Structure 1
Amino acid sequence: MTADPSSRDEPTGTSITDADPRPHVVVLGAGFAGLSAVRALRKAPVRVTLVDRHSYSTFQPLLYQVATGALNPGDITYGARGFAAHTGAFFRKGEVTRVDPETRTVSLDVGPDLHYDYLVIANGVTTNYFGVPGAAEHAFPIYTRAEALAVRDRMTGYLDHIAATGEARGASVVVVGGGATGVEMAGTLAELRNTVLPSRYPELDPNEVHVVLVEMTDKVLPPFAPRLREYAAQQLRARGVELRLEAAVKEVRPDSVLLADGSELGAQMTVWATGVAAHERVKSWGLRQGKGGRIVVGGDLRVPDHPEILVAGDIGVIEDDALPQLAQPALQTGRHAGRTIARLVAGEPTERFHYKDKGTMATIGRLSAVADIAHGPKLVGVLAWLTWMFVHIFALLGNRNRIMVSLGLAFRYLAQRRGVMVVGDD
């Protein structure tokens, strides 16, 4: 019996055994790539099941704003079940434990297995600690909603503790990684130290709270144009961020970071903002993996040995054309994967994926950002900051999210100099 679509409960079985004769497409992951693939399949003659371990999708580029208190988690999350219903798909909540390409089966931690005719793997990646001793145990990543909240709780909890007890002076936050996330995190923390700490924690001397950014190369924001990198470094230093460039992390300890040159940085909190890798269990799926555990695919995003499997987003890599692990490549590969399945169902040949680079941007703080627009201007300062605001707010899925993020960011940056800090509840 065909399931009632209004219930959005996934029927078991494949198109071969189920009463619904349409090919069954299973999409793993409700991130940028997964949602883009589902949207691209909306008018295709297939039934789609979207799978994610959470019932929501997270807008990851703004997680650091959650970690530093400007936004609440609900401001940057969107209901995955509602999205699925809106696009005519089913939704299944669960964590993928196994993918068997031979039987075309996906196993979850709860409920029956899912059988597919086509599979889109878009379940993203996780933090890569690069084998650094103590990093996984003592550093705080900010790749998920829960991790961002953990950073926020640790930061405010520690400040409350030392304000009440006076036990420690010279508190330090060490941010590891000079990419966009690390620069945004370090710049925001330093700005909050300068503008919010005096009124919120009058017991503490802001000069005794340090923000250190550690980067193993000789520059911050390595992928950006030289003028933008130099501007970002100058703006970080102007906010009081100590830059430790060409510094590799040897070990992360509970209250310090040991560098390869033998120096040791005191750290009441270490934020890990460098590198990602595929989830460990992907190794058991029997698919060829490249650097960082990314699944190797052909130019049309299909797995060569299993052409019914497509890979999109950070977890995939085209063998002869590696893409950056950013939002735009995820969106574009997800859309291409969905369209490729629609072409296959229609008996049409697949097409090679071509990435359209739209540029990258990062914010350093209030009225300060860099924007490297592809085939366009390279912006710094207020204009780049306004561009960053517009792009990120527009990219959010729901109108409620756009309104709440607009209010939260406006309140942070407009009220910041009056010592106001937003720290809300989930």
Structure 2
Amino acid sequence: MSVEASVSTPHRIVIIGSGFGGLFAARALKRRKDVEVTLIAKTTHHLFQPLLYQVATGVLSEGEIAPATREVLARQANARVLLGEVTHIGLDTRTVAHEVLGRQTVTPYDSLIVAAGAGQSYFGNDQFAEHAPGMKSIDDALELRGRIFGAFELAELATTSAERDRLLTFVVVGAGPTGVEMAGQISELANRTLRHDFRAINPRDAKVILLDAGPAVLPSFGPELGAKAVSRLEKMGVDVRTSTKVIDVDNLGLEVEGPDGQRSRIESKAKVWAAGVSASPLGQQLAAQSESGLDRAGRVEVTPELTLKGRPEVFVVGDLMSLDGLPGVAQVAIQGARYAAKVITARLDGKPAPPPFRYFDKGSMATISRFSAVVSVGALKFGGFIGWLAWLGLHLVYVIGFKSRVTTLLHWAVTFIGRGRAQRVYTVQQVLGRRALERIDPAQAPHLPPVEGDPTSWRPTAS
């Protein structure tokens, strides 16, 4: 597709999503005076998702990993930010319909960059979400913070050993980077941060269980680093169980099927779901209106130029994009976003299109505990303290904003050098879970009896 170099009106570029793909695409176009960039997102912030688990475990505040998108783009004169959830993309009309608080707006585009990302997948068991929140949003992280810290508080009030054991058993489902990092942080929280804070319980009695249906921990890192991660986790007291499938989840525990096919139950109040992702439903709209298909995960198959087949003005980047088996990681989104901006710029300037997109793998990292991480960069694989320093430096670089970098570094110093955690505030609603509260009828609340053995089953009293 060619675009005339001299135009009387700006070239309208609409970007859907404020994650790594959306934000980096917008910033890559900041020097273009002949374009008008409109970024549409259902949240007002840019989320640094790889550090969500640190919000959930009290290391960082949500503000440090989720700066306001408007503030980030405030000095970019050719960009504006609109709040709204995209409900429809019209490829024939070249419009995007988005809605907020019942008000719908339609925004036209000349070029479209879809960076809508992905959500948590429960593999067809969406009812699990009420009892085992995922790790895809600030709401998820804050709810998990309430559930994790609240479990210790409720255990201090427990009247039976069975009740106490259930509250002090934490289960993390999924042994990828997020699951490993979360399991490690909960273990450190119990054994280091909270060790002197209670009188009726010993937080070090807490049990952390890491489950995965697959045969290995951190499978994308290779067997050597996976084994190192397991060794470190087990030294920290984490019970690692692979080839263990979750069959059912309820308020008080999980039913699992082990590698021998035998089913058993794990009594646990606080569960974290870190297994699987589900592509944005916008992918189905794009596939239905173009020649592009969907892969098994619901991601949109794109051309080597990251466009829809037959729709060269529509780019798909990040977690919603399916190309050559590329993983859904931040670097794929960032590099894809910059590439899409480069293609649009070349078209506006009447220059030849750049070569097809080629992903440069900068490696993968996962932190297991303070002073210990695993790093995989091509053939180079290492772990321990050096890996942790590499992880620290890389993540600090990608935190948006100088102020956020400084406060993040200070909070890391408090947590990793000392024993404190600066962000331990949570609400009763977060302990109970926002999904459960949504179903409570205040008129019926006084008549709901507590669930036997569950101190969190009380209901608010109607006024």
Q: Does 1:331 align with 2:334?
A: yes
Distance 2:204 2:149 in 1: 17
Deviation at 1:35, TM superposition (A): 1.2
After TM superposition, give the deviation of residue 158 of structure 1 in Å. Answer: 2.3
Instruction: Show the 5 A alignment for 1:181-260.
Output: 181-260=178-257
1:62-111 Cα offsets, whole Å, 9 max, x none, are 11000000111011112211222323311111111111111111011135
Alignment partner of 1:128 is 2:128: no
Q: In 2, Cα distance between the equivalents of 1:425 and 1:256?
A: 25
Which of 297, 305, 319 is the equivalent residue of 2:302?
A: 297
Kindly indicate whether the alpha-carbon contact (under 8 Å) linking 1:71 and 1:424 is maintained by their aligned counterparts in 2.
Answer: no
Tell me, what secondary structure is at the counterpart of 2:105? coil
Separation (CA, whole Å) in 2 of partners of 1:425 and 1:173: 19
Q: Counterparts of 1:210 and 1:226 in 2: how far apart (Å)?
A: 25
Aligned-pair identity (%): 35
One-letter code aligned to 2:95? T
Of the three residues 84, 94, 114, the one matched with 1:104 is 94
Q: CA RMSD in A?
A: 1.9
Q: Is the CA contact (8 Å cut-off) linking 2:415 and 2:421 kept in structure 1?
A: yes
Select between 163-172 and 387-396 the one with higher mean Cα deviation.
163-172
Q: Is the 8 A contact 2:195 2:204 kept in 1?
A: no
Structure 1 position 309 matched with structure 2 position 314: yes
1:274-293 aligned within 5 A: 274-285=275-286, 286-287=288-289, 288-293=293-298
CA distance in 1, matches of 2:254, 2:47: 30
Q: Which runs of 5+ in 2 are unaligned?
A: 427-463
1:156 and 2:160 matched: no
Q: Given that residues 87 and 98 in structure 2 are in contact (C-alpha distance below 8 angstroms), is that contact kept between their aligned partners in structure 1?
A: yes
Aligned AA (1:299): P
For structure 1, which runs of at least 5 residues remain unmatched after alignment?
A: 1-14
From the superposition, tell whether residues 133 and 29 of structure 1 become closer, same or farther in structure 2 (CA, over 3 Å). Answer: closer
CA distance in 1, matches of 2:10, 2:421: 52
Amino acid corresponding to residue 405 of structure 1 in structure 2: T
The number of equivalent residue pairs is: 404
Letter aligned with residue 75 of structure 1: E
- Confirm or deny that 1:372 pairs with 2:358: no
Residue by residue, what CA displacement relative to the aligned partner does 1:150-179 show, whole Å, maximum 9, x if unpaired?
000111122212213445221211100000
Structure 1 counterpart of 2:70: 81
* Inter-partner Cα distance in structure 2 for 1:265 and 1:95: 38
Counterpart of 1:10 in structure 2 is none
2:196 aligns to what SS in structure 1? helix
Structure 1 residues 120-157: Cα deviation after superposition (integer angstroms, max 9, x where no partner): 00011100111136422321111111100000011112
Partner amino acid, structure 1, of 2:164: R
Structure 2 residue aligned with 1:70, among 35, 45, 59?
59
Query: Structure 2 counterpart of 1:113, which letter?
Result: V
Please state whether the residue corresponding to 2:217 is helix, strand or coil: coil
In the alignment, structure 1 residue 388 sits paired with structure 2 residue 391: yes
Amino acid paired to 2:423: V
Q: Distance in 2 between matches of 1:207 and 1:21?
A: 65
Query: In 2, distance between residues paired with 1:386 and 1:405?
Result: 15
TM-score, normalization: structure 2? 0.83
Which residue number corresponds to residue 29 of structure 2? 41
SS across alignment from 2:365 = strand
Once residues 122 and 264 of structure 2 are traced to their aligned partners in structure 1, the CA distance between those partners, rounded to angstroms, is 20
SS in 2 for 1:328: helix
Contact 1:371 1:378 in 2 (8 A): yes
1:145 aligns with 138
Contact 2:57 2:145 in 1 (8 A): yes
What do the CA deviations read for 1:20-67 (whole angstroms, capped 9, x no partner)?
611100001111111111122222331111111111101111110000
Q: Does 1:263 align with 2:252?
A: no
Corresponding residue number in structure 1 for 2:9? 21
Equivalent-residue separation in structure 1 for 2:424 and 2:150 (angstroms): 14
In the TM superposition, what is the alpha-carbon distance from 1:226 to its structure 2 partner? 2.4
| TM-score, normalised via structure 1 length | 0.90
Q: Is this contact kept in 2: 1:140–1:269, CA < 8 A?
A: no
Tell me which moved more, 381-390 or 225-234: 225-234
Say which SS state the counterpart of residue 198 (structure 1) adopts: coil
* Runs of 4+ in structure 1 over 4 Å off: none
Structure 2 counterpart of 1:398: 401
Choose 269-278 or 126-135, whichever is displaced more: 126-135
Partner residue in 2 for 1:347: 350
- SS class of match (1:194): helix
Identify if the C-alpha distance between structure 1 residues 164 and 101 changes in structure 2 by more than 3 Å, giving closer, same or farther. same
